[in-house]
Amino acid sequence: MNKKISFLSLSVLFFAACNSAAPKKQAAASAYFDLKDYMITEAKRLTALNPEIDKTVIVNGAAERRKVKIADWPKELSVFSDADINKSAWQGLFTAAKGKDTETYLSDNEKVPVKSLSISYKNGKVRGIKLLISNVNSLYTSNDTLSYFPDSLYEVKKIQHIKLLNGKSYTITGKFK
């Protein structure tokens, strides 16, 4: 009987500890601008609007342009949401500067690929987002610039250098019609 009570007591304490830790984790998750949540909301909004996009892809100087309807906005914008700076391992590794119409987050930590996130506002709404991402190791260097302007334009620029291979660059630009 004592073993059953002890097991029950331990189980209750375990679940109570789990429950009390959850709110702390959620509060810490949004220490910086919540880019992931913002992009999820934008993807839902754009899925409902279903705008026509004038999309241009340039790979090593060769360009292709088409007018398209994006079938999967979460996938289309995933490069932005994947760059969310609220990862628990990155807490405290960004400096924040907030102005009247801007927020900027910077990191010079070599383990953090997102080096800069800048958000501009107009009348309290996001007007633009710009990210600088850099991945460097002994074999590979990649520099990305991501820009998002709601209902206007989104752009991904990437420059890659892999040792012993030619460099590669591409730009994807989507202009809202």
Q: Clarify whether residues 88 and 171 are in a common domain.
A: yes
Q: Clarify whether residues 56 and 103 are in a common domain.
A: yes
What pLDDT does residue 150 have?
A: 96
Q: Clarify whether residues 118 and 162 are in a common domain.
A: yes
Please give the structure tokens belonging to residue 66.
Answer: 């088409």
Residue reference for tokens 């890659």: 160
Q: Clarify whether residues 26 and 52 are in a common domain.
A: no
Q: Clarify whether residues 7 and 87 are in a common domain.
A: no
Q: Clarify whether residues 79 and 3 are in a common domain.
A: no
Q: Clarify whether residues 122 and 50 are in a common domain.
A: yes
Q: Clarify whether residues 107 and 149 are in a common domain.
A: yes
Residue reference for tokens 């400096």: 95
What pLDDT does residue 99 have?
A: 93
Name which of 136, 137, 154 is nearest 145 in CA terms. 154
Q: Clarify whether residues 107 and 164 are in a common domain.
A: yes
Q: Clarify whether residues 8 and 48 are in a common domain.
A: no
Q: What is the mean pLDDT of each successive set of 10 residues along the chain, which is 177 residues long? A: 43 39 44 94 97 96 96 96 93 94 95 96 96 92 97 96 89 95
Q: Clarify whether residues 81 and 11 are in a common domain.
A: no
Q: Clarify whether residues 50 and 120 are in a common domain.
A: yes
Determine if the pTM surpasses 0.85: no
Specify the number of domains making up the chain. Answer: 2
**Residue 19: domain span:** 1-30
